[in-house]
C-alpha cells in the first residue's frame, strides 16, 4: 500500500509538471481536491458498510457461491452482481474488495469488477437517452460475453497457478 501511494505521488508530480507548461497545474490540484471533498463522505460510508459486510457475510455462503470452489457459478454471479451494483466507484470498489477479502474466488472478483465496469446499470439511462436503446443493447450484449470470458480466464488462472 505504501509503494502504491508513493507511485501515485510520483505520477501526480509528473502530471503537475506537464500541466505547468499550460499554466493549469494549480487548477489540477484544485480539481482533485474538490472531487475528493465531494467523494469523501461516500468513500467513508462505503468503507463502513464494507467493514460490516466483512463481519456479517457467512463463510458458508462465500464458500458455496463465490469462492474458487463455486467455479463458473461464481463467475456468473459475479458478473450480474457487479452489473446491478448501481453505485459509483467510491462505493463499489470497497464493497468488491471486501467480498474478495472474505474469500471470494479470483474468477468471481474479476467478473464482478468487470461486470461493474462494463455493464454497470447506473450508466444505462444516460446511454439509452443520448445514444439510443439499440446502441446500448448491442454494447451490453457484447460486453456481457467479455465479462464472463474475463472471469473464466481469472478462475482458470486461480485454479492452475495460485
Partner 1 sequence: MRNTAIILAVVTLILLAIAYITGGFELVTEGFLTAGMTASQALLMIFAAFLVIGQLQTLVTSDMIKGWMQKYAGGRGIAISSIAGGLFPGGPYIFYPFLAGFKGKGISFYLLFSFVSGKQTYDFTRLPLEISLITPWIAILRNILTFPVPFIMGLISWRFFPQGVAGASWEEGE
Among 63, 68, 80, 88, binds partner 1 (CB under 8 A): 88
Q: Any contact of residue 144 with partner 1 (CB under 8 A)?
A: no
Span interacting with partner 1, options 4-12, 59-67, 69-77, rule CB under 8 A: 4-12
- Measure the CA–CA gap between 113 and 147, rounded to whole angstroms: 9
Q: Which residue has the cell 439511462?
A: 125
Nearer CB in complex with partner 1: 69/131: 131
In whole angstroms, the minimum distance from the beta carbon of 160 to partner 1 comes to: 14
**Binders of partner 1 among 15-74, rule CB under 8 A?**
15-16, 18-19, 22, 24-25, 27-36, 38-39, 41-56
In whole angstroms, the minimum distance from the beta carbon of 137 to partner 1 comes to: 8
Q: Any contact of residue 141 with partner 1 (CB under 8 A)?
A: no
Q: Any contact of residue 162 with partner 1 (CB under 8 A)?
A: no
Interacting residues of 146 by C-beta distance below 8 A, sequence separation 6+? 114, 118
Among 69, 146, 156, 159, binds partner 1 (CB under 8 A): 146
Among 5, 60, 160, 161, binds partner 1 (CB under 8 A): 5
Q: Any contact of residue 93 with partner 1 (CB under 8 A)?
A: yes
In whole angstroms, the minimum distance from the beta carbon of 98 to partner 1 comes to: 8
Q: Any contact of residue 143 with partner 1 (CB under 8 A)?
A: yes
Reduced 3-state DSSP string for the chain: CHHHHHHHHHHHHHHHHHHHHCCCHHHHHHHHHHHHHHHHHHHHHHHHHHHHHHHHCCHHHHHHHHCHHHCHHHHHHHHHHHHHCCCCHHHHHHHHHHHHHCCCCHHHHHHHHHHHHHHCHHHHHHHHHHHCHHHHHHHHHHHHHHHHHHHHHHHHHHHHHC
Amino acid at each position: 500500500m505504501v509503494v502504491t501511494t508513493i507511485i501515485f505521488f510520483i505520477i501526480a508530480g509528473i502530471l503537475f509538471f506537464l500541466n505547468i507548461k499550460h499554466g493549469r497545474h494549480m487548477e489540477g490540484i484544485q480539481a482533485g481536491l474538490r472531487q475528493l471533498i465531494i467523494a469523501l463522505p461516500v468513500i467513508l460510508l462505503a468503507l463502513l458498510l464494507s467493514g460490516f459486510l466483512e463481519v456479517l457475510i457467512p463463510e458458508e455462503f462465500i464458500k458455496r457461491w463465490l469462492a474458487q470452489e463455486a467455479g463458473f457459478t461464481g463467475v456468473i454471479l459475479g458478473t450480474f452482481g457487479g452489473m446491478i451494483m448501481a453505485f459509483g466507484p467510491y462505493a463499489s470498489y470497497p464493497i468488491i474488495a471486501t467480498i474478495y477479502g472474505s474469500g471470494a474466488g479470483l474468477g468471481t472478483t474479476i467478473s464482478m469488477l468487470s461486470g461493474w465496469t462494463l455493464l454497470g446499470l447506473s450508466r444505462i439511462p444516460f446511454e439509452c437517452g443520448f445514444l439510443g436503446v439499440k446502441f446500448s443493447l448491442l454494447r451490453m450484449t457484447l460486453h456481457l460475453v467479455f465479462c464472463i470470458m474475463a472471469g473464466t480466464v481469472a478462475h482458470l488462472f486461480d485454479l492452475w497457478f495460485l
